[in-house]
């Protein structure tokens, strides 16, 4: 076992003993004062409830405040193919991916599916008044880790399992310190240095709601010039959002947004565009919607092409350095990967 995790069963917010466990205590302290919850999966969210009530009653819970990200959460339903441990089937995806260990893991007792919780030492503001670059850095790391962990690429990053709901789940925790974003950084910065708020492709992979919002809003900018009334623009955006939601639903049947959620997104785009947008946009729907549908059908594989190429370059460089007599530990340090990965690459090359 590469890192010692302790097990906490029957975790409830009414048991003071669980507040002696540092990761759970901090999760309670950082939870929003008022949170939306789902009493049962697939039953929709309640109105905001006080923190203690939400953590006592909710099966699923809003784990970050609306404008501040304190936790990165990854929804993992597929185990790593090499995993043969006695732990839940998705427990060790972080280990095989060579990423830092989660602060704690909530596992479904029935199917072994897991959610990884990474606590951030310095929360990231995602308010519209905040600087865009830190937000993009957060999103870029989250997208990268989603690929490496084999996590659900359409997860919304808004609602998670409630670690204080003891029904049908187990919490595994370690005493790792909260992470700075840079501790989780395994990005190719040359590829991620050209972020532009006006580029719709930079927003993909941030969740279903975000994908729809940031795809259709660029189409709305371009279409506004054809509209004499607000209702015309609204109807166009509604049809575009519904079409894109249907495309996402083909690859993620359980992730299709409800019509109320779609209409909420439509209203946000339409009202801002009608009241504020005065420029000329480039109509991108023919390219962009096809790209979104293609990526969804491939289950995120299209996002992984750049990552695979980057890993291939690292692998070639690592093998070359080992041939030159440099120790595997030194190679791992230079390339910022684990020694275990270097060893595995060398073993594969000898086969």
- Give me the pLDDT at residue 3, please: 63
- Give me the pLDDT at residue 116, please: 96
> What is the spatial distance between Cα 294 and Cα 302, in angstroms, rounded to a whole number?
8
Question: Is the model's pTM score more than 0.95?
Answer: no
- Give me the pLDDT at residue 12, please: 86
Task: Encode pLDDT of 145-198 as tens digits.
Answer: 988 888 887 787 888 999 998 878 999 999 889 999 989 987 765 555 454 544
**Per-chain mean pLDDT for the chain:** 80
- Give me the pLDDT at residue 292, please: 54
Task: Collect the ranges in the chain with pLDDT lower than 50.
Answer: 1, 193, 195, 197-198, 200-205, 281-288, 302-303
CATH architecture, domain defined by 301-350: Orthogonal Bundle (1.10)
- Give me the pLDDT at residue 232, please: 92
- Show me where the domains of the chain are located: 6-184, 200-297, 301-350
């Amino acid at each position: 076992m590469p890192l010692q995790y302790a097990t906490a069963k029957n975790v409830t917010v009414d048991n003071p003993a669980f507040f002696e466990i540092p990761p759970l205590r901090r999760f309670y302290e950082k939870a929003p004062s008022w949170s939306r919850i789902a009493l049962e999966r697939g039953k929709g969210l309640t109105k905001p409830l006080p923190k203690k009530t939400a953590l006592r009653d909710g099966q699923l819970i809003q784990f970050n405040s609306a404008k501040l990200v304190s936790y990165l959460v990854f929804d993992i339903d597929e185990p790593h193919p090499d995993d043969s441990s006695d732990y839940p089937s998705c427990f060790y995806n972080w280990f095989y991916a060579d990423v830092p260990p989660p602060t704690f893991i909530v596992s479904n007792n029935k199917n072994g599916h897991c959610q990884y919780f990474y606590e951030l030492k310095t929360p990231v503001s995602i308010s519209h008044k905040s600087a865009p670059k830190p937000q993009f850095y957060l999103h870029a790391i989250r997208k990268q880790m989603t690929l490496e962990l084999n996590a659900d690429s359409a997860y919304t990053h808004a609602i998670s399992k409630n670690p204080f709901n003891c029904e049908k789940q187990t919490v595994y925790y370690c005493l790792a310190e909260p992470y700075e974003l840079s501790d989780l950084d395994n990005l190719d910065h040359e590829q991620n240095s050209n972020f532009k708020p006006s580029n719709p492709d930079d927003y993909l992979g941030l969740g279903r709601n975000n994908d729809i919002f940031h795809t259709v809003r660029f189409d709305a900018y371009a279409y506004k010039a054809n509209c004499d009334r607000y209702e015309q623009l609204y109807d166009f955006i509604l049809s575009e959002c519904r079409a894109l939601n249907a495309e996402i639903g083909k690859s993620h049947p359980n992730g299709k947004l409800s019509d109320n959620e779609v209409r909420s997104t439509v209203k946000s785009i339409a009202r801002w565009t009608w009241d504020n947008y005065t420029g000329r946009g480039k109509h991108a729907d023919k390219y962009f919607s096809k790209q979104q549908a293609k990526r969804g059908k491939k289950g995120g594989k299209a996002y992984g092409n750049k990552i695979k190429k980057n890993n291939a370059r690292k692998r070639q460089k690592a093998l070359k350095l080992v041939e030159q007599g440099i120790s595997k530990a030194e190679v791992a340090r230079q390339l910022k990967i684990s020694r275990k990965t270097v060893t595995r690459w060398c073993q594969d090359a000898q086969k």
